[in-house]
Structure 1
Amino acid sequence: MLDTPSAQVPTLSLADQARDPHAFAAALGQSFERFGFAIVADHGVPQELIDRAWDETQQLFALPEEEKRGYFVEGAGGARGYTPFKTEIAKDAKHVDLKEFWHVGRELPEGHRFAGEMAPNIWPARPEGFKDTFTELFSAFDTAGDKLLSAIALHLGLDADWFDPAVRDGNSVLRLLHYPPIPVDAEGVRAGAHEDINLITLLLGAEEAGLELLDRQSGRWLAIKPPEGAMVVNVGDMLQRLTNHVLPSTTHRVINPPPERRGHSRYSMPFFLHPAPDFLIETLPQTITPENPNRYPEPISAQDYLMQRLVEIGLIKK
């Protein structure tokens, strides 16, 4: 099952952006247009912080089940805190995903205008230092994401800072993911075929085999194999909609490992970069052509779009 051919997604260096922002933007945009994915090295998130985050993620998921479930908020759509194993399901899938996860969101000051849409964080009593580590990691992902959005803006012919007001106080989510050991005959896969909801996703932890994208040209599943320490970055449905599919949101999944690896856990940390709840997702005029007419004549707010999608994947019940 893991002899899948590799996707030839290029590895780009974010350090190149400072030297030649337009060349970096072109390379990133071309990778997105071809695959919906890019691999980004030299992303600026400190390795010491990443190592600390991995250690505390493993400690968190090793807590007793009853303790973890104490941080699960029924009916909250998994927005913050713990979501138990076998809760989320990919849209139109037959089996729930074989994963549990924890969500960290943006820390907002008291009385913030988005307090009604963005729930306060839930911080576990253990492991010690968890809040400091993941507040710092959220900020580091935010910084890297801003740089990537600047490159995307340039690629689309926009000002480099076009996304800044859209994502200031954005509803981004840092997800700590644990795929526990599974039996050889486990039903389903660790994460069913899906597209992400947000603008872009920045992912750490894809070095462990299993992440695959569905290639639009060949119709084949292709493995994504980043070099050690690099980030996998992919287009989400909000950016696909904003760009009228010029930048496509590619279907991807996490398949089960071969039998000899099924007794091992898999961990990853995706950062789902979202705009602010009141951002209007309205097709960019320059992406509308006679060959590519406007697929989304009706704009929608980021908050309304998010709620629609959370219902589809089972995190919010109608």
Structure 2
Amino acid sequence: MSSANTNNEPLETFPNLPPFPTDIPTAPLLRLSLSELGKSEAESASLFKASKDLGFFYLDLRGDQLGDALLDESGRLFEVSKALFDEGPEELEKFDYSGQGSYYGYKGLGKKVVDAKGTKDRNEFYNAAKDDFLDQSLTPFAHPATLMKNKPLLTSYTTHAHELLTRILNHLNSHLAVPASTLSRLHDSSLTSGDHIRFIRAPPQPPSDLATALGAHTDFGSLTLLFNRVGGLQVLLPTTNTWAYVRPLPGHAIVNLGDALVKLSGGLLRSNIHRVVAPPGEQSASTRYSLVYFMRPGDEVPMKRLEGGVLPRLAEGEVEEDVTSKEWISDKAMAGRVGAVVEEDKYKKRITNRAELGLAVGEEST
């Protein structure tokens, strides 16, 4: 285990891409090893520390059978992502399901606001449900041809990503000292849930008109698994209240915690504010592709803090809202979509305690 910006070992770069600058502040994410997590209590303790302190960490996937499979599949899915967005907005907009109250499908450029002023985003993405690829959706959506012809790969990646994040849940479960398998049961892959893959494309921005591609936010699921190769992701450092880049590292995934785990842990775990800006330095001329897997509790899981272990208890007289994961996440997911119909009061009510998350006015969950 090491911190990505304090060790002296040279950091690798991605082939065929401009180098990430060496003269800009980078976030001190801990670098954990998947293979070490399986055999080292110290590595597991570091994971728990990172999950409480910053809520972000690097995970070196190399040298582990599951990790190596994910590295191979994520590399192939970057090519699928390019082919997907090459279909063009006119074709992909046929798969925009926001009018049906769903966050699945395509979101075009400028279809989401990034701040309280209503500034529009500068990326496009496509959300594809876990349950579609595992053939357990009650009402599966149609997907573009590029995805359908790669369904076996997407099914394998979905299975492996969920398995990896379940390992992380099991480590957190142990350190929270709640009954064995509590967290993994709430996120079992057989449960209908909001888990999904997201393909993201952010084109280069004109140097004279650089803007935030994705506004400051916290993720509202449980765990996020991110693969990217071009910089642009920034986290807000809680100790200094300043933004710092997260440098992409070959062989690593970036993992971060979301609001659902903050909620379930009574605020003990951390969901940290982050955003996406234009890539730094020479990378600014590059198109930024990202591959994300969002893990969320099963649809019918009550969004209430767990009991027992080291978790803080509810204050005397404190009553939590009776809401399911599906309701809690759906309201948050559609907020911020241009033209989406949202019950604003319900959305504001369900934003996780801002004191726990450090969110400021005008910032959002996503």
Match of 1:12 in 2: 32
Question: Matches of 1:163 and 1:192 in 2, distance apart?
Answer: 29
Q: Is 1:268 equivalent to 2:268 in the alignment?
A: no
| Counterparts in 2 of 1:93 and 1:167: CA distance versus 1, 3 Å | farther
Question: Matches of 1:187 and 1:142 in 2, distance apart?
Answer: 35
Match of 1:62 among 76, 79, 86: 86
Question: Matches of 1:54 and 1:293 in 2, distance apart?
Answer: 50
> 8 Å contact 2:110–2:121 — kept in the other structure?
yes
1:231 positional shift: 0.9
Identity %: 23
1:121 positional shift: 3.9
1:103 positional shift: 1.1
Letter in 2 for 1:239: L
Question: Matches of 2:195 and 2:49 in 1, distance apart?
Answer: 25
Structure 2 unmatched ranges of 5 or more: 1-20, 343-366
Question: Matches of 1:295 and 1:91 in 2, distance apart?
Answer: 31
Match of 1:72 in 2: 96
Match of 1:194 in 2: 217
Match of 1:32 among 15, 28, 51: 51
1:297 positional shift: 3.1
**Deviations, residues 156-212 of structure 1 (Å, cap 9, x unaligned):** 11244212221122320110011122222336311111100101111111x421111
| Counterparts in 2 of 1:153 and 1:93: CA distance versus 1, 3 Å | farther
Judge which range, 94-103 or 180-189, deviates more. 180-189
| Counterparts in 2 of 1:18 and 1:103: CA distance versus 1, 3 Å | same
> 8 Å contact 1:244–1:283 — kept in the other structure?
yes
Match of 2:67 among 39, 44, 56: 44
Match of 1:165 in 2: 185
Match of 1:184 in 2: 207
> 8 Å contact 2:114–2:212 — kept in the other structure?
no
> 8 Å contact 1:59–1:127 — kept in the other structure?
no
| Counterparts in 2 of 1:293 and 1:200: CA distance versus 1, 3 Å | farther
> 8 Å contact 1:124–1:130 — kept in the other structure?
no
| Counterparts in 2 of 1:236 and 1:189: CA distance versus 1, 3 Å | same
Question: Matches of 2:268 and 2:158 in 1, distance apart?
Answer: 28
Match of 2:142 among 107, 122, 133: 122
> 8 Å contact 1:244–1:295 — kept in the other structure?
no
SS at match of 2:275: strand
Judge which range, 53-62 or 79-88, deviates more. 79-88
Match of 2:272 in 1: 250
Structure 1 unmatched ranges of 5 or more: none
> 8 Å contact 1:33–1:247 — kept in the other structure?
yes
Letter in 2 for 1:84: G
| Counterparts in 2 of 1:64 and 1:9: CA distance versus 1, 3 Å | closer
Question: Matches of 2:335 and 2:59 in 1, distance apart?
Answer: 30
**Deviations, residues 118-137 of structure 1 (Å, cap 9, x unaligned):** x5143222367322222221
> 8 Å contact 1:39–1:233 — kept in the other structure?
yes
Question: Matches of 1:135 and 1:268 in 2, distance apart?
Answer: 18
1:68 positional shift: 1.7
Question: Matches of 1:296 and 1:61 in 2, distance apart?
Answer: 46
Question: Matches of 1:163 and 1:181 in 2, distance apart?
Answer: 40
> 8 Å contact 1:95–1:187 — kept in the other structure?
no
Judge which range, 74-83 or 168-177, deviates more. 74-83
| Counterparts in 2 of 1:241 and 1:295: CA distance versus 1, 3 Å | farther
TM-score, length basis structure 2: 0.76
| Counterparts in 2 of 1:110 and 1:164: CA distance versus 1, 3 Å | closer
| Counterparts in 2 of 1:258 and 1:301: CA distance versus 1, 3 Å | same
Question: Matches of 1:93 and 1:38 in 2, distance apart?
Answer: 31
Q: Is 1:212 equivalent to 2:234 in the alignment?
A: yes
Question: Matches of 2:25 and 2:316 in 1, distance apart?
Answer: 34
Match of 2:327 in 1: 304
Question: Matches of 1:243 and 1:12 in 2, distance apart?
Answer: 22
Q: Is 1:140 equivalent to 2:156 in the alignment?
A: no
| Counterparts in 2 of 1:15 and 1:93: CA distance versus 1, 3 Å | farther
1:221 positional shift: 1.0
Q: Which structure's residues are more often helix, by fraction?
A: 2
Judge which range, 164-173 or 242-251, deviates more. 164-173
Match of 2:198 in 1: 175
Match of 1:53 among 51, 55, 77: 77
